[in-house]
Amino acid sequence: MDHAEPSPSGATLAEEFAAALDWWREAGVDNDYGDDATEWLTENQSETAEGSAQNKPARPRKQAPAPPPPKKIGGDKNSWPAELPAFQQWFAFHPSIDDGGAYPPVSPSGSAKPELMVIVAEPEENDSESLLSGPQGRLITGMLRAAGIARDEVYIGSVLRRHTPMPDWDGLRGSGIGELLAHHVGLVAPKRILTFGRNIPPLLGNDTAQGAALLHNFNHDGDSIPVLGVGSLPELLRSAPRRQRFWQRWLEWTDG
Residues 224-252 pLDDT 10s: 999 999 999 999 999 999 999 999 999 99
pLDDT of residue 41 exceeding 60: no
- How does residue 65 score in pLDDT terms, banded at 50, 70 and 90? confident
Of 196, 204, 202, nearest to 230 (Cα)?
196
pLDDT of residue 160 exceeding 90: yes
Residue 185 is predicted with a pLDDT of: 97
**Residue 210: domain span:** 114-255
- How does residue 17 score in pLDDT terms, banded at 50, 70 and 90? low
DSSP label at residue 223: E
- How does residue 30 score in pLDDT terms, banded at 50, 70 and 90? low
Rounded to 5 degrees, what are φ and ψ at 84?
-60, -50
Residue 227 is predicted with a pLDDT of: 95
Q: Report the mean per-residue pLDDT for the chain.
A: 84
Note the Cα 167 to chain centre separation in Å: 10
User: Mean of the pLDDT values across residues 132-155?
Assistant: 95
Global pTM value: 0.72
pLDDT of residue 164 exceeding 90: yes
Burial 212-247 (b: 16+ CB within 10 A, else e): bbeebebeeeeeebbbbbbbbbbebeeeeeebeebe
Residue 137 is predicted with a pLDDT of: 96
CATH number at residue 237: 3.40.470.10
Residue 186 is predicted with a pLDDT of: 96
Assigned domain for 80 exists? no
The count of structural domains within the chain is 1
DSSP label at residue 211: -
Assigned domain for 186 exists? yes
Assigned domain for 198 exists? yes
